[in-house]
């Protein structure tokens, strides 16, 4: 394990010269600068929306995170109830901070002071799923042993931004409160950060993920503003810079994120935002001039774009981008790197008359968006929509008929392995979008619970290959782990077609699967997607025979509604059939050798036909009562199950997706 540098070894991060004073180290004007914070200088839709919500807050009590809510994760696995109260408290404070900065009214300063004090009195800033208390057999946090996680970092940064913005007003009306803030942030975040070097999110074991950028960025802000100037502050900033450098070194050369598009915002984007702060705090001496991988990763969001709010999703990412993403941060990074396409993609999210940002993203992101003239003055643009994307680090391929248009069908295929961060067992998964809207889909993930990151993760139906568009071979699903991976991946694209082919056999824990070649093709001439499945199984294997010593995932919680295959199709119990599964969103009607799917959002309809048409088809309907899934897909998803068992141990199935003409 590496050790933190001594104070003598690192008098200042990277020896770059003095940092700005705490009162001037963040790239947002303080509320004392009335030219920046007068209401007529701020975006009216953003300010009015915040004002309306903040005024409504005054009539209600502050949200109360409770001990019983915290304990629920140990009792029934629920984490959303407690976290919801925490998030609501933090968002209310963010709204009040903006109103106080705009008005300097004592009533809003009082509201800010109440929110700050409540956070200082909150037993823990750690989210329940992460606290070490449960490992000690306790169900309440121990304030003497704070755990530095995403939640603690968020609160420390929020208090730092509040202190930076409203320090003068707080000293006038609440003398002593800022000292309380420094004590709590020091005890809960800065001291543990410096004292412990065994935090898993440091990535010292080689497993670097989004927590590293997320927490290091927040610690950087807190240290710059709230740590005592001099050696202590310099050392904390130096450790944060070390952590950010370690994270950035892990970004692959193609800029991809194996956690998926949604987690780009919580990993790479967090790092880019931290570099922006560091550049300002050091007067440019620590200039975040990006390496090649950072220039590439600024392009990752637009490379995953299908159309409108829809994106290629993998792992725990949803397919529809949630509201409130910090598009301004992407816009700034694109401006800095000179990526005109990424800049246009960010600008395309601006809608006249709609807010620039929302408080759900955190106070720092809200303040940065409000006061960035480059974002405030941006005009809506046309998203770039590249014709082809190939990201070898995650083996993710996207192809559309023509650059700049999402009309017709877009094909995306994922290879990779089943040991990725936020992994789903999805090697070889296919997504097909119609006019920018996914119709053959990856479900994404439900609301997080204790189960999500526990030993029963692959009992959650969305995590299993059984509910992805991949085969189920002799009753066996794909298995988790980096060893279960795509083989012999080949990509080619030209004016006429785009093709990815790969062997899926290595993703299955069976020794009797010699090969399963999937070739997915977008024909740019006729607009169809064709997927050819060719398999080579050892003849004569008994049901379950040939499976490796490592079992597949635990049985999943199957839907109660369905037709044909029913629940046994997903349980892995008593079912040795080989099926090709297609997961689709929309209204489904099946016939011999085909299915018609009417897509969401009025995008149109597709016909999915397979050959041989004699291969029987069943469907299973998955009702969606989880908000994370329902907000994306509506009331249901449907799995089309094409049984190829009768085609023998060596066989071929081709399935074709084509857009149907619009009906009058």
pLDDT tens digits, 151-192: 999 999 999 999 999 999 999 999 999 999 999 999 999 999
Question: Does one domain contain both 102 and 245?
Answer: yes
Q: What is the DSSP-derived secondary structure letter of residue 245?
A: H
Q: Which of 544, 414, 399 is nearest to 485 (CA)?
A: 414
Question: Does one domain contain both 652 and 554?
Answer: yes
- Cα 288 to chain center, whole Å? 23
Domain final residue, candidates 222, 250, 278:
250
Question: Does one domain contain both 4 and 58?
Answer: yes
pLDDT in tens, 388-446: 999 999 999 999 999 999 999 999 999 999 999 999 999 999 999 999 999 999 999 99
According to the model, what pLDDT value does residue 322 have?
87
Residue 19 lies in a domain: no
Average pLDDT value for residue range 593-603: 97
What percent of the chain has a predicted confidence (pLDDT) above 70? 92
According to the model, what pLDDT value does residue 353 have?
85
pLDDT in tens, 477-535: 999 999 999 999 999 999 999 999 999 999 999 999 999 999 999 999 999 999 999 99
Question: Does one domain contain both 147 and 214?
Answer: yes
Residue 73 lies in a domain: yes
Residue 513 lies in a domain: yes
Confidence bin at 12 (pLDDT 50/70/90) = very low
The strand pair at 579-584 and 636-643 is best described as: antiparallel
**Cα(252)–Cα(628) distance, rounded to whole angstroms?**
29
pLDDT value at 543 more than 70: no
Confidence bin at 561 (pLDDT 50/70/90) = very low
Question: Does one domain contain both 353 and 496?
Answer: no
Average pLDDT value for residue range 73-99: 96
pLDDT value at 9 more than 50: no
Average pLDDT value for residue range 621-625: 97
pLDDT value at 545 more than 70: no
CA-based Rg of the chain, rounded to a whole angstrom? Answer: 26
Query: Which H/E stretch holds residue 603?
Result: none
According to the model, what pLDDT value does residue 541 have?
62
Confidence bin at 323 (pLDDT 50/70/90) = confident
Identify the residue with better confidence: 211 or 563. Answer: 211
Question: Does one domain contain both 318 and 393?
Answer: no
According to the model, what pLDDT value does residue 594 have?
98
**Cα(389)–Cα(32) distance, rounded to whole angstroms?**
47
pLDDT in tens, 577-588: 999 999 999 999
Residue 18 lies in a domain: no
Burial class (CB in 10 A: 0-12, 13-18, 19+), 403: exposed
pLDDT value at 572 more than 80: no
According to the model, what pLDDT value does residue 478 have?
98
Confidence bin at 380 (pLDDT 50/70/90) = confident
According to the model, what pLDDT value does residue 540 have?
74
**Cα(184)–Cα(354) distance, rounded to whole angstroms?**
37
According to the model, what pLDDT value does residue 351 have?
84
**Cα(524)–Cα(495) distance, rounded to whole angstroms?**
7
CATH number, domain of 486, equals 2.70.98.70
According to the model, what pLDDT value does residue 288 have?
53
| Partner residues linked to 284 by β-bridges | none
Burial class (CB in 10 A: 0-12, 13-18, 19+), 601: middle
Residue 510 lies in a domain: yes
Query: Which H/E stretch holds residue 18?
Result: none
Assign 490 to helix, strand or coil. Answer: strand
Question: Does one domain contain both 133 and 174?
Answer: yes
According to the model, what pLDDT value does residue 294 have?
85
Confidence bin at 546 (pLDDT 50/70/90) = very low
According to the model, what pLDDT value does residue 18 have?
83
Question: Does one domain contain both 306 and 434?
Answer: no
Query: What's the domain count of the chain?
Result: 3
Residue 198 lies in a domain: yes
Average pLDDT value for residue range 577-603: 97
pLDDT in tens, 227-272: 999 999 999 999 999 999 999 999 999 999 999 999 999 999 999 9
Residue 52 lies in a domain: yes
Residue 421 lies in a domain: yes
Domain final residue, candidates 231, 250, 269:
250
Question: Does one domain contain both 234 and 294?
Answer: no
Ranges of H-type helices in 324-467: 327-337, 340-347, 363-371, 373-376
According to the model, what pLDDT value does residue 17 have?
60
pLDDT value at 551 more than 60: no
Confidence bin at 292 (pLDDT 50/70/90) = confident
Domain that holds residue 131: 1-10+26-250
Question: Does one domain contain both 373 and 411?
Answer: no
Hey, how many other C-beta atoms are within 10 angstroms of the C-beta on 214? 26
Q: What is the mean pLDDT of the chain?
A: 91
Domain final residue, candidates 356, 383, 410:
383
Question: Does one domain contain both 374 and 490?
Answer: no
Confidence bin at 557 (pLDDT 50/70/90) = very low
Question: Does one domain contain both 178 and 73?
Answer: yes
């Amino acid at each position: 394990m590496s050790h933190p540098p001594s104070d003598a070894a690192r008098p200042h991060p990277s020896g770059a010269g003095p940092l700005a004073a705490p009162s001037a180290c963040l790239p947002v004007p303080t509320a004392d600068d009335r030219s920046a914070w007068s209401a007529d200088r701020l975006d009216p839709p953003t300010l009015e929306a915040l004002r309306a919500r903040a005024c409504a807050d005054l009539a209600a009590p502050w949200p109360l995170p409770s001990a019983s809510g915290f304990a629920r994760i140990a009792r029934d696995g629920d984490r959303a109830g407690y976290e919801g109260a925490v998030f609501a408290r933090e968002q209310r404070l963010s709204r009040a901070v903006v109103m106080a900065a705009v008005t300097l009214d004592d009533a809003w300063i009082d509201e800010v002071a109440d929110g700050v004090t409540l956070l200082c009195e909150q037993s823990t800033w750690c989210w329940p799923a992460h606290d070490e208390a449960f490992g000690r057999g306790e169900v309440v946090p121990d304030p003497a042993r704070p755990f530095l996680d995403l939640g603690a970092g968020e609160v420390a940064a929020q208090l730092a931004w509040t202190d930076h913005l409203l320090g003068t007003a707080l000293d006038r009306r609440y003398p002593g409160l800022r000292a309380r803030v420094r004590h709590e942030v020091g005890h809960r975040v800065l001291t543990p950060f410096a004292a412990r070097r065994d935090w898993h999110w440091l990535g010292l074991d080689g497993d670097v993920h989004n927590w590293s950028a997320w927490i290091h960025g927040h610690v950087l802000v807190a240290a710059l503003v709230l740590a005592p100037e001099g050696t202590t502050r310099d050392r904390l900033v130096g450790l944060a810079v070390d952590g950010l450098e370690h994270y950035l070194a892990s970004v692959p050369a193609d800029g991809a994120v194996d956690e998926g598009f949604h987690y780009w915002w919580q990993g790479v984007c967090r790092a880019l935002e931290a570099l922006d702060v560091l550049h300002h705090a050091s007067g440019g001496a620590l200039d975040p001039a990006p390496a090649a991988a950072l220039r590439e990763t600024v392009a990752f969001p637009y490379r995953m774009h299908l159309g409108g709010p829809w994106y290629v999703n993998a792992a725990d990412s949803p397919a529809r981008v949630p509201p409130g993403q910090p598009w301004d941060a992407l816009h700034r990074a694109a401006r800095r790197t000179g990526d005109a396409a990424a800049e246009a993609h960010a600008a395309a999210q601006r809608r006249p008359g709609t807010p620039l940002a929302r408080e759900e993203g955190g106070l720092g992101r809200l303040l940065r968006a409000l006061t960035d003239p480059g974002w405030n003055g941006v005009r809506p643009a046309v998203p770039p929509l590249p014709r082809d994307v190939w990201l070898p680090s995650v083996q993710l391929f996207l192809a559309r008929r023509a650059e700049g248009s999402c009309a017709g069908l877009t094909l995306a295929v994922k290879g990779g392995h089943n040991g990725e961060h936020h992994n789903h067992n999805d090697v070889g998964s296919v997504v097909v979008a119609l006019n920018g809207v996914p119709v053959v889909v990856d479900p994404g993930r439900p609301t997080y619970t204790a189960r999500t990151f526990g030993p029963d993760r692959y009992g959650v139906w969305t995590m299993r290959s059984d509910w992805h568009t991949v085969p189920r071979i002799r009753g066996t699903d794909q298995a988790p782990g980096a060893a279960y991976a795509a083989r012999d991946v080949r990509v080619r694209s030209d004016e006429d077609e785009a093709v990815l082919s790969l062997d899926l056999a290595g993703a299955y824990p069976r020794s009797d699967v010699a090969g399963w070649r999937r070739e997915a093709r977008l024909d740019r001439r006729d607009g169809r997607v064709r997927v050819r499945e060719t398999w080579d199984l050892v003849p004569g294997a008994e049901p379950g025979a040939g499976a490796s010593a490592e079992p597949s995932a635990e049985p999943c919680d199957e839907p109660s509604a369905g037709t044909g295959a029913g629940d046994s199709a997903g349980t892995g119990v008593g079912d040795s059939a080989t099926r090709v599964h297609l997961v689709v969103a929309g209204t489904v009607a099946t016939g011999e050798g085909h299915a018609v799917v009417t897509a969401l959002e009025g995008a149109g309809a597709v016909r999915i036909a397979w050959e041989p048409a004699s291969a029987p088809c069943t469907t299973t309907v998955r009702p969606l009562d989880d908000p994370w899934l329902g907000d994306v897909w509506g009331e249901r998803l449907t799995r089309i199950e094409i049984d190829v068992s009768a085609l023998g141990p060596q066989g071929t199935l081709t399935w074709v997706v084509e857009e149907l003409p619009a009906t009058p």
